[in-house]
A and B are shown apart, each in its own frame.
Chain A
Amino acid sequence: MRKGPLVGLANVRYHEGIPLVSCWGKVAEQVKFNFTGPFLAGLAKVVAGSSVRWVDSHPDTCQRIYFANHTSHIDAVIIWASLPKHCRELTKPVAAKDYWDRGWFRRYLARSLNAMLIDRENIKVHRSPVESMLKEIGDKYSAIIFPEGSRNDGTNLRDFKSGLFYLAKKRPDLELVPVYVDNMTRILPKGEYLPVPLLSRVIFGPPIWLENGEPKTDFLVRAREAVSRLRDV
Chain B
Amino acid sequence: MDLLHASLSTILSAPLLAQQTAFLLDGATGILLGVVISCLLIATGAGQILRRQPDSSVNPAIVQAFIRRVRAWWLMTAILAVTFTIPSPVATVVLFFLISFWALREFITLTPTRLGDHRTLFWVFFVLTPAQYVLVAMGQSQYELFSILIPVYGFLFIAARIAVAGDYKRFLERIAKIQAGLYICVYSLSYAPALLYLTDWTDPEYSTKSTAGLLFYFLLIAQLSDLLHFVCSRLLGKNVIAPNINASRTWEGFFAGTGVTAVVGAMLSLTGATPFNPWQSAVMSIVIAVMGAAGSMAMSAIKRDRGVQDYGTLVEGHAGVLDRIDAICFAAPVFFHLTRYYFTTASG
Determine if B118 and A196 form an interchain contact, defined as CB atoms under 8 angstroms apart.
yes
> Inter-chain contact count A-B, CB under 8 Å?
38
Q: Give the docked Cα–Cα distance between A196 and B111 (Å).
A: 14
Question: Are B118 and A192 touching (Cβ within 8 A)?
Answer: yes
- In the bound complex, do residue A197 and residue B125 qualify as a contact, i.e. CB atoms below 8 Å apart? yes
- What residues of chain B lie closer than 8 Å to A186, measured between beta carbons? 109, 113, 115, 118
Chain A residues with Cβ below 8 Å from B314 are 51, 199, 201
| A residues near B106, Cβ cutoff 8 Å | 199
B14-49 residues at the A interface, CB under 8 angstroms: none
The distance from the CB of A82 to the nearest CB of chain B, in whole angstroms, is: 13
Q: Is B180 an interface residue (CB 8 A)?
A: no
Q: Is B105 an interface residue (CB 8 A)?
A: yes
Asked if B121 is at the interface (CB within 8 A of a chain A CB), the reply is: yes
B315 within 8 A of A: yes
> For the complex, would chain A's binding face be called helix, strand, loop or mixed by DSSP majority?
loop
Nearest neighbor of B314 in chain A, beta-carbon distance: A199
Interface size class of A (residues with CB under 8 A): 10 to 19
Give the distance in Å from the alpha carbon of A186 to the alpha carbon of B105 in the complex.
Answer: 12
Chain B interface helix/strand/loop/mixed: helix
**Is A194 within 8 A of B105, CB to CB?**
no
Instruction: Decide if B108 is an interface residue (CB 8 Å cutoff).
Output: yes
A189 within 8 A of B: yes
Interface residues on B, range: 10 to 19
Closest residue of B by beta carbon distance from A185:
B115
CB pair A198 B118 closer than 8 Å: no
B-chain residues with CB within 8 Å of residue A132 when the two chains form the complex:
none
What 0/1 pattern do residues 173 to 204 of A give for CB contact below 8 A with B?
00000000001011001001010111101000
Q: Chain B's nearest CB lies how many Å from the CB of A71? A: 11
Looking at the assembled complex, report how far the CB atom of B47 sits from the nearest CB atom of chain A, in whole angstroms: 27
Nearest A residue (CB) for B108: A198
Chain B residues near A53 (CB-CB < 8 A): 316
CB distance from A59 to the nearest CB of B (A): 16
Q: In the bound complex, how far is the Cα of B101 from the Cα of A217, in angstroms?
A: 46
The smallest beta-carbon distance between A193 and chain B, in angstroms, is 10
Q: Is the CB of A196 within 8 A of B125?
A: yes
A49 sits at the interface (CB 8 A) = yes
20 A-B interface contacts by CB (under 8 A): A49-B315, A51-B315, A53-B316, A186-B109, A186-B113, A186-B118, A189-B115, A194-B122, A196-B118, A196-B121, A196-B125, A197-B101, A197-B105, A198-B105, A198-B108, A198-B109, A198-B121, A199-B105, A199-B106, A199-B109
Given A49-B315, A186-B118, 11 more A-B residue pairs with CB atoms under 8 Å apart are A183-B109, A185-B115, A186-B113, A189-B115, A194-B119, A196-B108, A196-B122, A196-B125, A197-B101, A199-B105, A199-B109
Task: Give the top 4 A-B pairs by smallest Cβ distance, nearest first.
Answer: A199-B109, A196-B121, A198-B109, A51-B315
